[in-house]
Structure formats: structure tokens, C-alpha cells
Structure 1
Amino acid sequence: MSGSSTPDCIARYLAHVRVDKRLAERTLSLYTLDLEKLQSFAAQAGVDVLQVQPHHVRRWVAQMHSGGRSGRGIALILSGWRGFYTWAGHEGLIAANPVSTVKAPKAPKPLPKALGVDDAVQLADFESEVDDPWLEARDSAMVELLYGSGLRVGELVGLDVHASNSAKGWIDIEGAQAHVLGKGSKRRIVPVGQAALVALRRWLQLRGTGGSVPVHATEQDAHAALFTGRRGTRLTPQSVWQRLRRRSQLAGLAAPVHPHMLRHSFASHVLQSSGDLRAVQELLGHANISTTQVYTRLDFQHLARAYDAAHPRAKARK
């Protein structure tokens, strides 16, 4: 340490990140708290902060994890420590960074948010008394396709009315299919349910009548687009988000709904009914089944709730 005390080193480091790196006061406060925790751990272990070894850090990570701190929270603390020891190495105070090889516990991936079956049906069946028939028909058809076919919002707005000259995707009413262009420019065909077909036919009857600018007077892309705005241009993902959020609130749902929530709901409900993970993978267009397996966790939650509500021994299990 060249005669420099640990508090002096930490003070010098904090001055360095404040002045040289110009960190915000909030970030500087977090760094200070992280280093105070490091000092506390080192004192309990009977070592100087500049004498800490990787096995010390791994032990402290285990203590924090067993104490209930999340993997993400531990990762942030380690990042703060790692920055301090990197600086100490540049200053010639240590030979090696004791945090460089230590990783935080993996944070569990959050489950996708999906609606219950009743809420999904409530949203799909909802008819707005606020919007005019043109908007109501369009938004209803969008909800039916998002929930009924599990489309991504980008796939939805990319749909054209006809297959001819379509570089994106298109809707086949007669074949009850949607040809979509998914991630990585991969095409797939998904079935379109009866409720969605009814909603689509109703929308197509009104599609060219509600815009303030005729569809044929706008860009060629808009002429082909299945879902358009008032001025005849292709609807954007942001517009779908806004309309769906508003519609879910009007329908009386507890939380606002976004397009991907309906995709999650589609996958979860199909899996609950069929138990066919491979089929769900194909319908969603996932390249790897590991991506689809998250819905088995949602399915288990559904089963666990049913068990807790119905089985006479459920309370004993808790």
C-alpha cells in the first residue's frame, strides 16, 4: 500500500470517479455504499481491503445471496468493487484484481406477462362505444390477430391485404391463414381463427372508407397495408401499442395491455390446452425450443393455482 491507508485509497478513488469520470451524484453515492460494504466484509474477515483475494469475494457473494440479495443487485455491487480494484491496479497498489474472475449468481429470468383466459376473452369481445365504427373494426381485428394467432406487433403491421408483390406478409382470408415475416426475415404460416376472420372481414369492408385521405392517394405501401391509420398510411407499432393500451383500459382490465402480452397469452393458453410445446414453438416462430420453454413455467403456475384453489390438502402444503 506504500504507506497509504485503506480509507485514503477509497477516498482517492471516489475523488477520481467524481472528478475524472464526472459521475452523477447518485452514482457516486452508490459507489460509496458499495465500498463501505467491501470494507465491512474485509474487516469481518480480518484482512485489509487491498489484500482481498478471489476466495474472499466468492464467500461474500454467497453470503449476500443467501441473505436474499438478488443476482442483479450482487452484480451491481461487484461492478463497483471491480472498478475500485481496477483503479488500484493502475495505481500499483495491488498485483491482481480479486473481483475479475468472480461472477454474480444468475438472476432468474422474469416470466412473460400473460393475461388469464377470462381477461383475454374480455378484451377480445369488447366493443368500444366511444370510437367510431371504422376505428372499432380496425382495433378489434388487430386484437383478434394478436391474441388469436400469436403475432408479434411488427408482423401484424407488416401484413398486406394481398399476396401479390408483398415483401412482408399477407392475410389469406379464404385459406384462414396469415403469412408473416418474422425475426431474421423468416417466413411462417399461422392459422387464423374464426373470430379473427369475422373481425377481419368487417374491417376490410370499412378499411377504405374512413381515412381523411383516400388510400389510393397515398404511398404505394399504404395501399397494400392491411392496417392503416386515418390518413391511409401503414400503421406503426407505436400506434398499435397506444391503441391497445387504451382499449384494455376501456374494457376494464386491471392493467394496461401491450401487444406482446397478447402473444404471451396466446402461447400460454394454447400450451395449457394442448400440452404440445413443439406446436407452440412452430406457431410462435421460435428458432430454439428453449425460448418456448418459458411458457411451461407459466403453465405450471396455472396448474399450481388450480391446485391451491381446489385441493383439500393445498393449505397443508403451504
Structure 2
Amino acid sequence: MRIADELPSLMQAYLEWLAIHKRLSDKTCENYARDLTLLCRLAAQVQVTEPQRLAAYQIKHFVMQLHGQGHGPKSLARYLSCWRTWFEWLVKYHELPANPVEGVRAPKAPKNLPKALSVDDAVNLANHAARGDTAILKRDHAIIELLYSSGLRVSEIAGLDVSPPTATSENDQGTGWVDWSESEVHVLGKGSKPRIAPVGAPAMAALNAWQQARAAMPKSALTHALFINTQGKRLSVRSIQLRLAHHAKVLGLPVRVHPHMLRHSFATHILQSSGDLRAVQELLGHSSLSATQVYTGLDFQHLASVYDAAHPRAKKQTKD
């Protein structure tokens, strides 16, 4: 027996409408049927025999009840989406006065912050690529060093050119460039916000080694892109992600490493060493301090305790 066969007639009619008019797959309709079955079960618990007569306060109660039972934000959002569209159908085709799910929202899912590598793992990952002598390995080494040394986004890495833009460099022009003499990279971050990021000595050494290897590659003179593939074309974001994951896997790191993890490691390690949140904000190119605080996973209570211990007016004065 199908799940839908146990549902009230209005729900069965809705599922048939989805299959015919929306052309949803059998699997999708089955998932809708499960979520509608849940709504019927919850309605029965509050002595509502016709789910279409549920009120908004009851829907909110169901969400709180399910959340208390351990249903996650994503599951709750899916239930509400299904129930909302069913009630919308009733409003449109069966003269239901109002949609009781309208305006009801699931709890927000907590942000999953990217994990940081340990200092040893980050350094070992960079050193691993440095062991090879091929042009591709020199390129990968320079990319890994630059990700960890400067905290760049992977899109910023892919957009780097070997030199500043000129009037004749419109073709394949990137969004940033390397200042070789100053050991800096100029990038265009989110919101087209320019910033300059310092490059550490090991990363500059890797970049110089790659620059020499790049010059010997066929077709390298046809592009301004700093990081190129064997065909002489700008390396894509996806290619950088795959190469980084490959080196981490070969090294035997216990986690799947992606470029954002190295950016997070960069921020975390600097913050742990210096405690200077404002400096990390500037290095990452964040517009607000709160963005940096969330990005690094910094505990605000720790910040408050530091403030209480350091600021002369932070605490109430004790009476003598």
C-alpha cells in the first residue's frame, strides 16, 4: 500500500495535481506524502480530524514540538515547505480563507564553520608539494603556500596575474596581481573591494620558483594569468580545489582539505598568536569586525572576559 493511500482525500488530490500539473517524480511525491502524513498525525494529537482546519498557532506549536524531539532545522524547513504549498493549493482551488503556515519559519541552522588545520598539518601540506621538481608541482606548491600565507580566497588565487594590468592587457585580464618587489598581492575581493595582502618568505620563494617554471611552459606568454594549466590557460577554481584535495589525500590528512580551510587556518593561527582581531579583519578583507569574529569561530564570551580584565572601566569598582 502506498503512503498516499492513507491520506485524506484532499491531500491525495493534491499529490495527483503535483504529479500531473507539476510533473514531479514518484519519489518526490512520496516525500510530500510522508510530510503530509506527519501533519495528519500532529493534527490528530490536538483532536483536529481535518488538517485543513489547522490554525497558525497550532502549526507553530508543531514546529516547536518537533524541534524539541530532535528534528533539525533542515528537516523542519522541509516539512513547512510541504505544508505551506498544500495550504496554498487549498487557498487557490478550494477556497480556504488563509494559509496558516504563511509566516511560520523553521529555526535557523547553525553555521558550520570550516575547520582549521593544525600548524604542523598546514606546513606539511605546503612542504609535500615542494618535494617535486615538475612545473605542475611547483605551481601547486606556490598555490598552497599563497593560500596559507596570505589567506586569499580561491577565486582571488585563480584571478591573479603575473603583473599589474596595462592598456594592452585586456585579453584574459585577471582580478589581481603580484607585486614581486614588495612581496605583496593586490586582489579584488567580495563586492569588488580591493586590498593588499602580504606574502611570507616561503610563499615568495615558491612563487619565484613557479614563475621560472611557468616561463618555460608552452603558450605561457599568451596569457597574463599567474597560475596556468598545461594548455597555457588560466587555472580554474575547480582545478585548484581538486589539486589541493589530491595533495592532502596523498599526504594522508584525516580531513578533506579545500582552499577555504587554508584561509580559515591562516586566520585562526594568526589570531591565536597575536590576538589581534582587527588585524585579521584587514588581512581577510572583511568589511565588518563581526564577520571576522564569526569566520574565525571566536568565542564572544572570551572577548568579554578579555575586555573585563583589561579595560579600567569594564568592571564595577569594588568598595574598600
The bucket for the TM-score relative to the shorter chain is: 0.7 to 0.9
Give the partner amino acid of 1:181.
L
| Residue in structure 2 matched with residue 152 of structure 1 by the alignment | 153
The TM-score normalised by the length of structure 2 is 0.84
1:215 aligns with 2:227: no
Aligned to 2:187: 180
Distance 1:91 1:232, change over 3 A: closer
1:123 CA displacement: 0.3
Q: Is the deviation greater in 196-205 or in 73-82?
A: 196-205
The one-letter code of the counterpart of 2:220 is: V
Alignment of 1:193 with 2:200, yes or no, is yes
Whether the 8 Å CA contact 2:35–2:83 is kept in 1: the answer is yes
Paired with 2:74 and 2:165, the residues of 1 have a C-alpha distance of 49
Q: Name the CA distance, whole Å, in 2 between partners of 1:203 and 1:50.
A: 67
**1:54 maps onto 2:59 in alignment:** no
Q: TM-score, normalised by structure 1?
A: 0.84
1:150: Cα distance to partner? 0.5
In structure 2, the partner of 1:65 is 67
Query: Which residue number in structure 1 is paired with residue 142 of structure 2?
Result: 141
Residue of structure 2 equivalent to 1:3:
none
Counterpart CA distance in 2 for 1:162 and 1:107 is 43
Residues 140-171 of structure 1 show CA distances to partners (whole Å, capped at 9, x for unaligned) of 11100011101111211222222252763211
8 A Cα contact 1:268 1:295, kept in partner: no
Which structure 1 residue ranges, 5 or more long, are not aligned? 1-5, 304-318
Alignment correspondent of 1:310: none
Map of 1:30 onto structure 2: 31
Partners of 1:21 and 1:46 lie apart in 2 by 32
Deviation at 1:267, TM superposition (A): 1.4
* 2-structure distance, mates of 1:127, 1:242: 14
Please state if 1:87 is matched with 2:89. yes
What residue is the counterpart of 2:99 in the other structure? 97
- Partner residue, 1:307: none
User: What secondary structure sits across from 2:138 in the alignment?
Assistant: helix
Specify the alignment match of 2:228 in structure 1. 228
| Structure 2 Cα separation of the partners of residues 28 and 97 of structure 1 | 21
C-alpha displacement of 1:10: 1.3
Equivalenced residues, count: 288
Percent identical across equivalent pairs?
47
**Residue identity in the other structure for 2:190:** K
Give the aligned residue type for 2:180. Answer: I
For structure 2, the residue ranges without an aligned partner over 5 or more in a row are 1-6, 303-320
Partner of 1:314: none
Render the CA deviation track for 1:192-238: whole Å, top value 9, x for unaligned: 111111211222222211x2x2423x3xxx1x222222232222222
Query: Which residue matches 1:10?
Result: 11
Could you report, residue by residue, the CA deviation over 1:244-279 in whole angstroms, capped at 9, with x for unpaired residues? 121112222123322222112111222222222221
Which amino acid counterpart does residue 286 of structure 2 have in structure 1? H
Distance in structure 1 (CA, Å) of the matches to 2:155 and 2:52: 52
- Answer yes or no: is the 8 Å Cα contact 1:114–1:264 preserved in 2: yes
- After superposition, the CA RMSD in angstroms is 2.1
Equivalent-residue separation in structure 2 for 1:256 and 1:77 (angstroms): 31
- In 2, distance between residues paired with 1:240 and 1:119? 19
Q: Give how far 1:18 is off.
A: 1.6
